[in-house]
């Protein structure tokens, strides 16, 4: 097969998503999906009549969705763009703000797709290690001459970078773009979207997969200055102008409008997360402070790889990364209370086996 590939494609190391097994039923705590269904308002708008319109292309301007996003965050529609999940929006942003003479920097422990996209687009990148406690030290980025990309809360650890630190980065070089990936920003953190009205060099990217329970609909968006949004759209309309399908446009709008359900689901995740942390810590686990819909945890009694394998054997999927520094940890999505009780019970059994 290598004979058919271009040299550029052959050098790529594709991002590995969490497994989606079909061999049996699992409690899926490995891909940071919500345990809750979409808002009832979503079910109301995705009608047979709307399905009947799937023979027609979707609106390339995504007006109905982007107007709703703009209203939700108190910005103008010109300050919003949307895409087929935040992955696509981020990829557009990487292409827009990275390239020849425009390197990019990001942490060593974060979303694996950042490394994939810089390789895909041939962007020079600087990977900056997290501190020993897995926090980001913004001083390490202050003098970087290109675009900075930070997941906040961070994608693997769940640790939050304070707003004051991000302001310092923005103000250190107003001519440098800062991309903040807020896939997990609604589980105890404060979104930085309002800061886009103050800083022209800030692009905030979010998704409806986690906090609005629409992972299967693939709805993501970015908020930023009109100049940054125009740059992202320049890439979008050069690549995939019909990028959000008709049903996702109306589903996303309905989900945004149901604020009560959104807040109810986010609060439930936070409450279940707090319970899970207490239970695991009581079992001797070290759990990093998380502002996301997952936790990053390790035990001195069982390795991360063994814990992943033994949980899988019991029908529970978590995520384990066979990488330096984080090999002892597993990432555990916060599911329903029942699911997390099953997880804690299974972990207790595994620890007892380890002691025997």
Distance CA 335, CA 158 (A): 16
Instruction: Note the pLDDT of residue 17.
Output: 73
Where are the domain boundaries for CATH 3.90.1150.10 in the chain?
A: 2-37+260-355
206 neighbors 221 (Cβ within 8 angstroms): yes
Instruction: Note the pLDDT of residue 341.
Output: 98
Burial class, 164, CB count within 10 angstroms (exposed 0-12 / middle 13-18 / buried 19+)? exposed
Instruction: Note the pLDDT of residue 355.
Output: 84
Fold observed for domain 40-258: 3.40.640
Distance CA 170, CA 149 (A): 12
Per-residue pLDDT of 335-348, as tens digits, reads: 999 999 999 999 99
Q: Which residues lie below 8 Å from residue 226, measured CB to CB, with a gap of 6+?
A: 76, 78, 79
Residue 81, SS3? strand
Instruction: Note the pLDDT of residue 8.
Output: 79
| CATH of the domain spanning 2-37+260-355, picked from 3.90.1150.10, 3.40.50.620, 2.120.10.30, 3.40.50.2000 | 3.90.1150.10
Where are the domain boundaries for CATH 3.40.640.10 in the chain?
A: 40-258
pLDDT > 70? residue 213: yes
Burial 235-272 (b: 16+ CB within 10 A, else e): bbeeeeeebbbbbbbbbbbbbbbbeebbeebbebbbeb
CA quadruple 156, 158, 161, 163: dihedral sign: positive
- Identify the residue with better confidence: 82 or 7: 82
Strand partners for 178: 148, 202
pTM: 0.94
Alpha-carbon 155 to chain mean position = 6
- For residues 308-328, average pLDDT: 95
pLDDT > 60? residue 250: yes
Residue 116, SS3? helix
What are the DSSP E strand ranges found in the chain? 27-28, 80-84, 104-107, 125-128, 147-151, 178-181, 202-207, 219-224, 286-287, 294-298, 316-317, 329-333
Peptide bond into 153 cis (omega under 30): yes
pLDDT, averaged across the chain = 95
Confidence of residue 19 (pLDDT cuts 50, 70, 90): confident
**Bridge-based pairing state of the strands 27-28 and 80-84:** unpaired
1: how many CB neighbours lie within 10 A of its CB? 5
Distance CA 311, CA 331 (A): 12
Of the candidate ranges 3-7, 54-58, 125-129, 326-330, the one whose mean pLDDT is the lowest: 3-7
């Amino acid at each position: 097969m290598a004979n058919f590939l271009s040299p550029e494609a052959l050098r790529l190391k594709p991002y590995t998503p969490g497994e989606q097994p079909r061999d049996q039923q699992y409690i899926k705590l490995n891909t940071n999906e919500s345990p809750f269904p979409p808002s009832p308002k979503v079910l109301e708008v995705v009608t047979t009549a709307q399905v009947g319109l799937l023979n027609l292309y979707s609106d390339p301007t995504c007006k109905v969705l982007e107007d709703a996003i703009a209203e939700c965050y108190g910005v103008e529609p010109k300050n919003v763009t949307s895409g087929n999940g935040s992955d696509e929006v981020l990829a557009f942003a990487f292409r827009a703000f990275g390239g020849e003479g425009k390197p990019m920097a990001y942490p060593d422990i974060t979303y694996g797709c950042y490394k994939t996209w810089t390789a895909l687009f041939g962007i020079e990148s600087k990977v900056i290690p997290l501190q020993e406690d897995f926090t980001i030290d913004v001083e390490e980025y202050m003098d970087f001459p290109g675009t900075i990309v930070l997941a906040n809360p961070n994608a693997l650890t769940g640790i939050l970078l304070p707003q004051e630190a991000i302001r310092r980065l923005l103000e250190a070089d107003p001519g440098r773009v800062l991309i903040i990936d807020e896939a997990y920003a609604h589980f105890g953190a404060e979104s930085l979207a309002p800061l886009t009205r103050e800083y022209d060099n800030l692009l905030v990217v979010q998704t409806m997969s986690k906090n609005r329970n629409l992972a299967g609909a693939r709805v993501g968006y970015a908020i930023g200055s009109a100049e940054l949004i125009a740059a992202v759209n320049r890439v979008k309309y050069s690549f995939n102008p019909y990028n959000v399908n008709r049903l996702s446009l109306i589903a996303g709008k309905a989900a945004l409008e149901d604020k009560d359900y959104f807040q109810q689901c986010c609060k439930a995740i936070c409450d279940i997360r707090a319970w899970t942390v207490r239970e695991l810590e009581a079992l001797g686990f070290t759990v990093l402070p998380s502002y996301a819909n997952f936790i990053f945890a390790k035990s001195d009694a069982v390795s991360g790889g063994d814990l992943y394998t033994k949980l899988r054997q019991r029908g529970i999927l978590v995520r384990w990364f066979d990488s330096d520094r984080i090999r002892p940890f597993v990432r555990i999505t916060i599911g329903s209370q029942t699911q997390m009780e099953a997880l804690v019970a299974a972990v207790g059994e595994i620890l007892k086996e380890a002691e025997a």
